[in-house]
Amino acid sequence: MSRVRWGGAAALVVAGLVVTWWGWPRAPVADSARGLADTVTESVVRGTSVVPEEPARVEPEGPRLRVVLEGERPFQGEARVGAAFISEEDRLAWEADGTFWWGDVVPEEVPASGVLDAGVLRARRPTGVRVRLVGARPEHGPFTVRMERVVEVDARAAERASEAWPVVQHVAPGVAAALRNGTSIPLSSEEDTALLPLLPDPAVRLWLRSASGREGGPVEVPLREGRLETAVLDVDALLPGGVGGTVTLRGRVLLEGTGRPPPGARLLGPDEQALKLEADGRFIAPGLPSWRPSRFTVRVEPPVSGRPVAPARWEFDFTPGEDAEVTWQVPAYRWLVLRMDGFTRARLAERSRRPYPVFLLQRLDVEGRWLTHSAEAFVEEEGGVAVSLLQPGTYRGVAAASPHDVYTSTSVETRAGSTEHSVSVRVDEGDAPCEVRVTSAGAPVYGARVTSASSLGSLPPARGLTDAEGRWRLGRVRADSLHLEVEAQGHGPWTGEASAACRASGVVEVRL
């Protein structure tokens, strides 16, 4: 018999029982007193560990678990019983007919010795699908099938069906992975392929997949618990446009303006599989579908320090045609440097509260508006901040000590072929400080939450709580727009535009 261990509070542990047809020669004693073919099997129950023990042919000590297995014929083989889980060592036996016994035992108390009777477990036939592939020819190559559960709308019924997950994972890990992760299962063109056990859902959806990756379907197959249904997948019907051919792509990946790939670059093909990239950037990508585009990704590991030479991720699309050879260039970064002397940086740091200071990049559009422009790299350097550029244009930098204390740099026009431009930022004394004063019926409100936001949506908002005098200090307000939100317990929220009040008196009066 196999050993079983109890874990945690032994009296409260649920023992999941899965018993399968087994190929070992020793058989438990059969008990035919019930009229049907029953088997009584016992297993040791312990209370010290949840770690499965290595199988050993020794006579166990301690209390024993008695299980009556009821089926159409006497059980032959060894029964495995799992305590609260199915251990890795039990993933060994699954007979072709798929019969199993499954049940839960929740003892009020685990005895130190004697027998714990788990009662009768009746044999259960698996739910499954027998897939028959029709119309497959040798030149098509191998076919696979992808599966998807059709879950019950009723939550209780869906939960009941999902109770069989441990059985599926134990006896058919490939089927479990296909249901959970969408992986494909190989199909045989010479004989039916049995997909079992499946969860007893109302139905399962199947997609036929060719060697080129082309899919046809779905085919929805109704399921009946304990039955093996037949599903016919016809290649011609599901893939009327053909199974699709494949092409081999040969190419090079280069850093713009050089004859080599970016340092540390990796090339990923469709489905994110890694492709070998030679030192001169050459690569070969075999088996690409000839009937649809394929996407490739170049990943460049950023340096530990200093400026990166290219974007960390850049994508290329390959559309099959007469030419199956390409040269792809990863764009090289140009740089805009926001020059700041030591005094300017110190003043900016003095006026900032985390997560500030924040730096932004702006680009002048065709209508003369300054718009926030995305940049992947902001590298702090001794003389300022270097910002990555990927295209020509007119740019400027923004240095913000808060959402409302914002300083813009001078602007510069960059052209193709240029690698670096500089602009300067000044942080002057400028405007007087501003504060928010929150009152209710003339009395200050302590602990009111104040949130200030900028019209520059990329800047994070600033938040704070009012003091005993109902005040929260905003600091200097240089922004043309300042949106405030105030919340306090026992009061409704207040929102408003505050930049005009800051310029006029330096105080934003909020009455709740």
pLDDT of residue 79: 55
In 3D space, the residue among 482, 476, 477, 470 whose CA is nearest the CA of residue 436 turns out to be 470
Residue 204 in contact with residue 221, Cβ under 8 Å?
A: yes
197 upstream amide cis, omega within 30 of 0:
yes
Q: In this model, does residue 275 exceed pLDDT 90?
A: yes
Q: How far is CA 291 from the centre of its chain?
A: 29
| Better-predicted residue by pLDDT, 59 or 431 | 431
| Better-predicted residue by pLDDT, 55 or 277 | 277
* Tokens coding 460: 């994070």
pLDDT of residue 36: 37
In 3D space, the residue among 353, 344, 428, 332 whose CA is nearest the CA of residue 383 turns out to be 344
Confidence grade of residue 85 (pLDDT, cut at 50, 70, 90): very low
Q: Within 13 Å and on the Cβ side, how many CA atoms surround 357?
A: 23
pLDDT of residue 122: 75
Confidence grade of residue 106 (pLDDT, cut at 50, 70, 90): low
In this prediction, residues 315-342 reach a mean pLDDT of 90
Helix (H) or strand (E) holding 148: strand 144-150
Confidence grade of residue 431 (pLDDT, cut at 50, 70, 90): low
In this prediction, residues 426-444 reach a mean pLDDT of 84
Residue 417 in contact with residue 358, Cβ under 8 Å?
A: no
pLDDT of residue 73: 62
Q: In this model, does residue 202 exceed pLDDT 60?
A: yes
Q: In this model, does residue 466 exceed pLDDT 60?
A: yes
DSSP annotation of 391: S
In 3D space, the residue among 436, 431, 460 whose CA is nearest the CA of residue 357 turns out to be 460
Taking the C-alpha atoms of residue 318 and residue 294, their distance in angstroms, rounded to an integer, is 5
Q: Which CATH class is domain 433-511?
A: mainly beta
Letter for the amino acid at 335? W
DSSP string, 9-68: SGGGPPEEEEEE----S--PPEE-TTSSEEEEEEEE--SS-SSPPPP--S---S-EEEEE
% of the chain with per-residue pLDDT over 70: 78
Taking the C-alpha atoms of residue 502 and residue 508, their distance in angstroms, rounded to an integer, is 6
SS3 504: helix
Residue 143 in contact with residue 187, Cβ under 8 Å?
A: yes
Q: Minimum mean pLDDT among 51-55, 164-168, 298-302: which range?
A: 51-55
pLDDT of residue 456: 79
Q: State how beta strands 100-105 and 37-44 pair.
A: unpaired
| Better-predicted residue by pLDDT, 23 or 408 | 408
Confidence grade of residue 63 (pLDDT, cut at 50, 70, 90): low
User: The pTM is what?
Assistant: 0.58
Confidence grade of residue 353 (pLDDT, cut at 50, 70, 90): confident
In 3D space, the residue among 92, 87, 68, 117 whose CA is nearest the CA of residue 16 turns out to be 87
Same fold across 247-330 and 433-511: yes
| Better-predicted residue by pLDDT, 375 or 69 | 375
pLDDT of residue 427: 81
**Tens digit of each residue's pLDDT (9 = 90 or more) over 1-57:** 333 333 333 322 333 444 443 333 333 333 333 333 444 444 433 333 333 445 555
Options 2.60.40.2070, 3.40.50.2300, 1.10.510.10, 2.40.50.140; which CATH number does 247-330 get?
2.60.40.2070
pLDDT of residue 83: 47
* Tokens coding 349: 């740091």
In this prediction, residues 212-225 reach a mean pLDDT of 91
Taking the C-alpha atoms of residue 438 and residue 467, their distance in angstroms, rounded to an integer, is 10
Topology of 127-238 in CATH?
A: Immunoglobulin-like (2.60.40)
pLDDT of residue 238: 93
Confidence grade of residue 430 (pLDDT, cut at 50, 70, 90): low
DSSP annotation of 270: G
306: left (phi over 0), alpha (psi -120 to 50) or beta: left
pLDDT of residue 469: 93
| Better-predicted residue by pLDDT, 247 or 117 | 247
pLDDT of residue 230: 94
Torsion of CA 472, 477, 480, 486, to 10 degrees: -10
Confidence grade of residue 76 (pLDDT, cut at 50, 70, 90): low
What residue ranges do the domains of the chain occupy? 10-122, 127-238, 247-330, 334-424, 433-511
Taking the C-alpha atoms of residue 7 and residue 389, their distance in angstroms, rounded to an integer, is 59
In this prediction, residues 411-425 reach a mean pLDDT of 88
